[in-house]
Structure 1
């Protein structure tokens, strides 16, 4: 308490400690009823004890343990393995949000010092086998501490050994500038000595050469102004839930990385820059397109593979296309090339040696101009020849970059890519076989129009085995449940609600779960009946994704889909055509055109043939979104119109469509007489089909609206009461058959009360009928007692029913 709340008195600090312990126990084990008995956080007199390591996994503790194991082993291979594993656990500052608590500050600084020491040692071990791979740990150090001279010294040595003296000199100059600007000091003498040795070595080599115009060394040394290789980039979004339900796809992509590594590892030097034959169908593609609807997890899977590639020592160049950039030629590839150049330590002098090859790229990458000598390009080139030279230059540059490190290129949302970018993708996919490169793209297939350049190219690319497509399917309810399990305050009914609404879409599921989690203060109180109140409208993130897709449709198509949303998740052609009949200028051909527009955009799918064609909305949340954006008055009008159309359609067989007609009448605010009539028909059909929960719901609705519409006339009132009593008998039976005996008993008793009010009936025959009805109801009440094992009460009810029959002189 003194360490955490030094400014508080003992009593106040103790109270805060108790609340903190209680909150921690709730966080550790939210399902435990007796939190004080939690084995994860124990109270022993005046000491708090956290569970042992077998029960609690802390990355910082594992990091230190791996580091100690690495220091205690004499096996260089084992030491390197342990250091590599430990380096993946360090994700940044320890408890970065706690900036004032002393023990967290001490631990944070201790862990960072150990991490820097680990990276220095790891760089030394990597340099034994591959100088290029030793650079990345040093870049990571300098990214957070550009004045770390131990890292600078090692980096200068490595770059010098790789004959990249210009970059080595640049590293020293950058260090000297920072030290002078921020600390007014000079680098250590040892660092200065390394710099002098590299600088003199370049000059001496120039003097010793017999060729006066030795441009290769000059180009390498003259790159002082060129940007240093960037440190490893953060891949993907942070604070993500674990990847769920994509094991098969992940295994396929991991196999692609391994196969590419194997193929390039055993490639002969003479094969180094020989592109594959475009029609070599025996090869395995090194380009994969992840296909699927918005939010299905394409980008999430690509992020997972990018992290895996980084762990394996690959460079990752990630580019995403946005809808607003669809008209910018090659924007996708300009970003890829620039990121690849900045991440990988590559031989830039190779570019300087071949200015004629790389000159076309300066239009996309102006920074290359400083590496190239000016050459006279052929002036009489057709646009097609100029385009081909650009593609060849991009391919050559990627090949040079990948020699320094295997390269994973990720193209996110390529459905928005311009035609030129799609054609360059096809060109590269055909020529990267056995090169240390892999391309992973993500694409919303339902947003690729029939004339989209990528769709036109895919058929040929797949036939040539240059590209493989992987279709991501919706997740199962169990997998959706696993994804949202980390969100607090979610009860089982809430999870079931999310599973139904998300329909296998992980993005939609997570956004709905966050909305429920942040909207509920008492998770245990969430029930299915209240969920619509908790999520009155869709989260903004989901609404924005749906609006983006809808915005590409014509206004007439959007209006038709809004009317269709009133009909539910699926509808038939004749029904939507009838709904559109009152629209000015509308006819059957117009409706078909609008439906085809919606299908081409992926909003609808079509099933059936002939006159019984059914259209299905792409996703349940699209129906919800369209429905919520209709005004209340117009929505009610659409429902009443739908009900009238269905009444005409089911004329003579009303029970078949009664459930749907009832829904539209209720939602459209129709009269109680109409609702009661069709609710009773719907209840009768459900009862016939033994669908007792549905029958109970409709009978209850019918009773409710019959009571609302009761007429003042005495005779009419008696008829209506008899009708209600009959419905209550059916309602009680449906309730009892579901095992809700007490509720069924109350319903039967309510029916008996209504029968008692009709004793003064004029006709003896009718009186006998009523007596039989009452006797039957008493037997039903007896069944509710018998079913729960109360035979005494059951017998009394049976005897009461018998007396009713005797009083009415009914003996048989």
Structure 2
């Protein structure tokens, strides 16, 4: 174990070459001493690392990285003079800086807000250091106030370059939680995607934010909430926390804190140019005041409306975190999070995903598309998505290790597996009744084997929209999850589930077998609603009577509350004055009765073009691509982009990226439902036909996953020939992957369409026989016999003796 009292043993460091004078400080990674280099007669700093370097490989990596950093020769970088090992611990001999670090400097200012001149000078110095280091191929990886030293003359110098990489792994607690510098970590690093120069710029932006605001972008003691903030939230505007910050500097810092690296400055060179312009503008303002009143400019924001931080869900999060902790120990489980629409289920699953990653778990997502009809969802959609998520990050070697005994079965769900593995051995033939069980076992092995490599969290969101086969497979996997490092987390709207819903019998069986831990999400309390209102408005002095009104009318539903505030701002009931939000007399506020009425009011304020695009998008589903909208609307690309930007700013739609594909989505399915309900019945048929034709082209190269969806569009659009064709293809595809319930449904629709047409008797009879066959495999023997007898009678009518004999041999 590390002991902090090593001063006496260090007095004779390197056989007396370095004479230790005093201890300067201690951090998470090491202890720093002031010392004298007796050979060169100069004062130096010695940083002794707390972690021992135990292996030759670790020592070699440490030395290689240290040599790369030692080559950096720049006025604003603390030089490395020497490295060595003492008592199995590595140490650095560094340039001694007579001054203080930025953390200590911040603490000398009232409220921790440094003066602008100091911040700008420090920013330019450190940005220059980063520009030089990046040009040499060296990343810092741990920028924070403690690693920025300020000399007595005011020069800023950056230290500890590459230390995180030299040590080979992040600092962790006994429970495995990443600690130390979470306040400044870039989202892509938190998500395990690796770092580049733009990651350093994000961390530097977080340091600048704290220097100006007096607190980091996402303050708090809980590292998970902080990490979640970096990934999903946007910080409070700098101008709100410190009105003295020039608008240009606020914009600069907020750009550094963009979630996506592509939206930040792409290099320290670009940033340095901006910082110099900001500094010159500030100095001109200070030295030659304009005498004009400064305009109040809105805080910089991304193109979409920012997502507010999660309101405390301590009880629910403790239950979920406990399930993660047990899974890491090899005690897996199935947990279902449920509640009404807009209650915050998806947000909570995302926060749990951040916590799971910090515990070292891999996180995979099963996403169910909210199509215009639930029965258009392709079979096994959840597990198809989970496996594709894994394929995004795994190597062929990893895939080979986890694929299990039945790779051909898994390939039937996700053919892309063949691209990574090459030749796949075919499964031995077995009876159709057993084939579905073998597929279930294949996917179960695959998922469980992934958890043997790394503890695994599988998030299955929006179960109320998923298909029956996905749910049956989930039930199968749940029976063996308790002995694996695997947590299955499902989320659904309990208000959407009735006795006829495919989830209902699965819930009954899971509870009967005691395989399920349910977690209910309740509505927010008055205090939680009040905190939410303060977050949305970004100010603390909100009248209590207004919060009471919001709580009373929304009944504590977070989505309803958020939509109401947005609507009241659009109506200017809540308005800006003197750079603050003001609220008109509370007693005179006309409050909408339902969340749907709020959404309807908000969409009605859009111009006609935006309303038309939204209406068309609602016929695709909750998620839609720009490419699809281009095909459906017929609007030019530039014009459509302009309309989408308008709607993004309202918060009615959002942007997201799934496995590299850019998507738009409605802010909530209720927005989509309200928009869809406003479309006249006369227009429904026309829009379904347009959507079907456009999606047919968009899905051209991946059409197997959208056969049912297209069939229903063409059915609703009146093109019965195309609907019949897609129902037959969807049924055949579902049967091939043993999704017998879905196959029966699709083929039943096809039979109905065939019966409306003249002729085609032989095709109808063969289809009736297939329906009977499916019911046989599903174990519904009486229903099966009804279809088979009907088919037999029809063959007799057709007097096709050869086919009739074949039918009798097969079924008797």
Q: Give the TM-score normalised by structure 1.
A: 0.38
Greater helix share, 1 or 2? 1
Larger Rg: 1
**Larger strand fraction of residues:** 2
TM-score normalised to the size of structure 2?
0.38
